[in-house]
Structure 1
């Protein structure tokens, strides 16, 4: 179980987050919605442990993987090495199988800069899942993609979630993405931001 209790997060005198509390069960996917600049990415950095300066407490599992808006890859290493160097126990055979699963095995010897944005994001997603995380954090991984590439990425994400079963926290602007991947959605609003809605996605759509 992931427990988030952020009583206050500020940058200097500017309070960004206030009294944000929610849990995420094992294997559950929760979407966090809200307008740009509301503090969604700040909240994810707190949950991931990247930023530890806040008032409150967050309880998370040890194995956490995060996929950022922009693919954070090793540009001086080839595609295959972006898996094997980050996950030394993965092995060459398993890494190649992971690349084949996401459709970029033919690009294994290329460098990230030689890939399209969609391919880079596939690699970032594969690298996150390769560590079999207990918690996967997705920070708008489909933004700026054309509709077909975004659809392909959503299908890939769905498949990998089913295969590995992590708890997932997804930040998105898209209601459709939230409905597609998550069973619950949290909505942030206000200055400072707080949770103004916590709904079961199926119930919100009128599904029994």
Structure 2
């Protein structure tokens, strides 16, 4: 199901299962914005339970790679193979402001009961806040709600675009620890973008460095 730019459950394009034991296979030959080529020969795989971090300078094309991998951007040369269920976590929580915390889960995930939604909220430290609307939650609580929504559907693939940016150190540490725990429990194939190398080294089993013009992966890090 979709809302805005949040995709959970159903892919946005027809999907072929990834082969060779990989949950995700990315083969981007080229990506252009008008006459300008921004990506070339970006190839990598992500296994189930593996976390891959994508790093590089601002504006290099990291978020463009995520949009292609997720299926939000289909105008590129190449192909992506991905599993059938995925979740995305963005810099901003992108919640439904006119729905309760509980409804932010049940309206996205078909078949999720209120009891299951409450259990998911409790797992991220929002127990008893199911009836609260996003505006009544702090930024940290909204980020936790976004994580609960992402993991409630047990996604096979998780995409995160700088989910810890703009948080103070204490809150960032709390969110990192919670995300680590949820990834360990659900074991999705995870791809996330970060500017913080410490976050990449902590969460990821592999770090990919996007460099150059047009951008490609540093070969020694693939």
TM range (shorter): over 0.9
How much does 1:197 deviate? 4.8
Long gaps (5+) in structure 1: 201-208
Aligned pairs for 1:85-100 (under 5 A) are 85-100=107-122
How much does 1:154 deviate? 0.5
Residue in 2 that maps onto 1:64: 86
Residue in 2 that maps onto 1:21: 43
Residue in 2 that maps onto 1:50: 72
Q: TM-score, normalised by structure 2?
A: 0.87
Residue in 2 that maps onto 1:204: none
Find the partner of 1:39 among 61, 80, 84: 61
Residue in 1 that maps onto 2:52: 30
Q: Secondary structure at the match of 1:19?
A: strand
Residue in 1 that maps onto 2:207: 185
Q: Do 1:184 and 1:198's aligned partners in 2 also have CA atoms closer than 8 Å?
A: no
Q: TM-score, normalised by structure 1?
A: 0.93
How much does 1:72 deviate? 1.4
2:172 matches 1:111 = no
Q: Which shows bigger deviation, 107-116 or 68-77? A: 107-116
Residue in 1 that maps onto 2:180: 158
Long gaps (5+) in structure 2: 1-21
Residues 109-159 of structure 1: CA deviation (Å, up to 9, x unaligned): 121122222111111111011111111001100000010111000110011
Aligned length: 200
Shift in alpha-carbon separation, 1:34–1:132, aligned structure 2, 3 A: same
Q: Do 1:188 and 1:197's aligned partners in 2 also have CA atoms closer than 8 Å?
A: no
Residues 57-112 of structure 1: CA deviation (Å, up to 9, x unaligned): 11111111111111111111111100111113110111111111111123221211
Q: Secondary structure at the match of 2:101?
A: coil
In the aligned structure 2, how far is the partner of 1:9 from the partner of 1:76?
37
Shift in alpha-carbon separation, 1:18–1:186, aligned structure 2, 3 A: same
The alignment's C-alpha RMSD in Å is: 1.2
**Deviant stretches of 4+, over 4 Å:** none
Residue in 1 that maps onto 2:19: none
In the aligned structure 1, how far is the partner of 2:220 from the partner of 2:125?
36
Q: Secondary structure at the match of 1:106?
A: coil
In the aligned structure 2, how far is the partner of 1:197 from the partner of 1:54?
21
